[in-house]
Amino acid sequence: MQLYLSQTLKIHNSLSGKKEIFKPLNEGHIGMYVCGPTVYSNVHLGNCRTFMSFDMIFRYFKHLGYKVRYVRNITDAGHLVDDAEDGEDKIAKKARLEKLEPMEVVQRYTVDFHNILQKFNFLPPSIEPTATGHIIEQIEIIKDILEKGYGYEKNGSVYFDVAKFNETHEYGKLSGRKLEDMIANTRELTAQDEKKNPQDFALWKKAEPQHIMRWPSPWGDGFPGWHLECTAMSTKYLGETFDIHGGGMDLKFPHHECEIAQAEASNGHSPVRYWLHANMLTMNGKKMAKSTGNNILPGEIFTGDNDILSKAFSPSVVRFFMMQAHYTSILDLSDDALLASEKGHHKLMDALNAIDNLETGNTSDFDIANWKRECYSAMNDDFNTPILIAKMFDAVKHINLIKENQQSITKGDKKELQATLNAFVFDVLGLEGKSNSDSDSGKLSGVVELLIQLRKDARDNKDFATSDKIRDQLAALGIQLNDGKDGTTFNVI
C-alpha cells in the first residue's frame, strides 16, 4: 500500500488563506509548477531557500508514494529590470554590459544555478523548460486572450486589459487586493503611455531597434511579457488545471496574480488548486541586498571566502539550517545561527552513526511507533520541518541513552528507528553525510581515541589532575566523554 493512502496531508493554500486537506486532481499523481530563476546573475541565497522548500515538498510527496511531475522553469527572456513594463530585459542588459551574446549570459548562470543546487543535494525537476523555448505557445495564448476581448494591441505591443477582466472575474484574489484600491493608489497615465490603465500588464512588448532579444509575431518583432511564460509552460506540461503552483512570497503580486488572470481569460477557469508561497531569507536582521553589502552567495559560504561569517559551512549544514524554519516563515541567516546548526547537524549524524552498534535487548524504552506517527504528523501539517527536526532530536536523545546503557531497545525497534531516521533525514530533508565532520571524521576519531588512552594512563597512575584536564578541555571543545563498563566512548555535543 502506498503511504499516501494512510496519511492526511494539510497544506496552506495562499488562495484561500487556510490550511486545506490536500487531494490531488488524479489519485496517486501530482502536478507541481514552481517559478524558477531569471538567469542573469549568480543564484541568490534567498532564491535557494525558496527552491529548497519545494525540493523538500517534492521529496515528501515522492516518499509518500506519489508520482510527481515537477516543472520548474528557467526565465531566459522577458523579465524586465525592476519588474517594470518598460526598460531593458535583465539578460539583455547583462549581455550589453559584459559585451556577450544573451545566450552566453543564460548559459553561464544556468550552469551556476545547477551547480549550486547540486551541492545542496536538490533532486532535479521532472521538466525544466525555458521561456525562449516556448515563444510559439506564448503567442498562441496572446491570440486567444485577444480573441476573447481581454487584451488589446497598441503600437506593436499587446497588453492585458485588467479592468475588462475584472468585470466578470476577480483580479487580486490571490494577494487580497481590490482593483478599486489599486486604481486609487496609482499615478495618472501620461500621453506617452500605451496602456489604457496603469494596472494593465504586457503580454507582448515591441522590440526597439537596439533590443537584442526579439522574435517575430503577428504584432511585429518583440518579446513576451514576463508573466506569460509561466502560464504557457505550466498549462503545456501540467494541463489547464493542475495541483500545486509554488514560488517565493514576493511573486504573489503581480506575477502570480497575472498568471491567474491570463489562464482564466484564456481557458475560462482557475488554473491552480493549491498555491504555496515560501517566505524570504534575511541576514543579520536585515534584507539581503547587493547594494547595501548585506549579501552573500552560496559558494562564499561553502568556501568561507567572505567577510561576514567566521568560517566555512558545508552545503548540508546550510540546508539543515534552512530546514529548521517553516517554509512560510522569515528566516534570518547569521554566523551564530549557522554555528548552532552545524553543532546540531553533527549531533544528528553522530546519532545515525551510532545506531549500527547499539546493543539490543528484550524491551524498548522508546515508543518507536508513537514517535514515527509524530514524525508523519509534523510533515502532514503543512510540511512542518521544524517540528520534524525536534522529533529527530527526541530520537537522538534516546539513541545516546541506549548507547550509554541507560535505556534498551529491541532488535525490531532498532531496525524501524534506523529506517525511519534515514527516510526523514536523507530522503525527505535531503541532508547528506553520516559523519560529524565529513572527510576529517577519521582524523577526529583517531585524535580523541589517543586522548582517551592518555587519560586512562593518567588515571591508572592516579594522575587525576591530568585526567580531569583532558576531559574538561575536550568538553570545552564540544566533545563529551562517556565512561562505561566497557570503556570510554565519545560524542560531539
pLDDT average, residue stretch 295-308: 95
Predicted confidence (pLDDT) per residue in 218-246, tens digit:
999 999 999 999 999 999 999 999 999 99
Lowest mean pLDDT among 6-15, 146-155, 205-214, 474-483: 474-483
Query: Residue 83: is its pLDDT beyond 60?
Result: no
- Cell numbers at 289, concatenated: 541586498
CB 120 within 8 A of CB 113: no
Query: Residue 315: is its pLDDT beyond 80?
Result: yes
- Cell numbers at 483, concatenated: 565512561
> Where does the pLDDT of residue 445 fall: very low under 50, low under 70, confident under 90, or very high at 90 and above?
confident
Query: Residue 325: is its pLDDT beyond 90?
Result: yes
What is the residue whose three cell numbers read 564540544?
478
pLDDT average, residue stretch 388-416: 97
What is the residue whose three cell numbers read 566523554?
481
pLDDT average, residue stretch 279-292: 90
All domains in the chain, ordered by first residue: 3-278 (3.40.50.620), 282-428 (1.10.730), 438-492 (no CATH)
254: cis peptide before it, omega within 30°?
A: yes
- Minimal CA–CA distance to 133: which of 217, 73, 202, 71? 73
- The CA distance from 195 to 199, in Å, is 8
Predicted confidence (pLDDT) per residue in 183-208, tens digit:
888 777 665 688 999 999 999 999 98
Containing 82, the helix (H) or strand (E) segment is: none
Query: Residue 87: is its pLDDT beyond 50?
Result: yes
- The CA distance from 269 to 435, in Å, is 51
CB 331 within 8 A of CB 284: no
CA distances from 327 to 11, 121, 277, 386, 454 (A): 11, 18, 8, 9, 47
- pLDDT value of position 248: 97
Predicted confidence (pLDDT) per residue in 2-43, tens digit:
999 999 999 999 999 999 999 999 999 999 999 999 999 999
Lowest mean pLDDT among 82-86, 101-105, 420-424: 82-86
pLDDT average, residue stretch 434-438: 47
Confidence (pTM): 0.87
* DSSP classification of residue 116: H
21 or 485, greater pLDDT? 21
Lowest mean pLDDT among 221-225, 411-415, 448-452, 489-493: 489-493
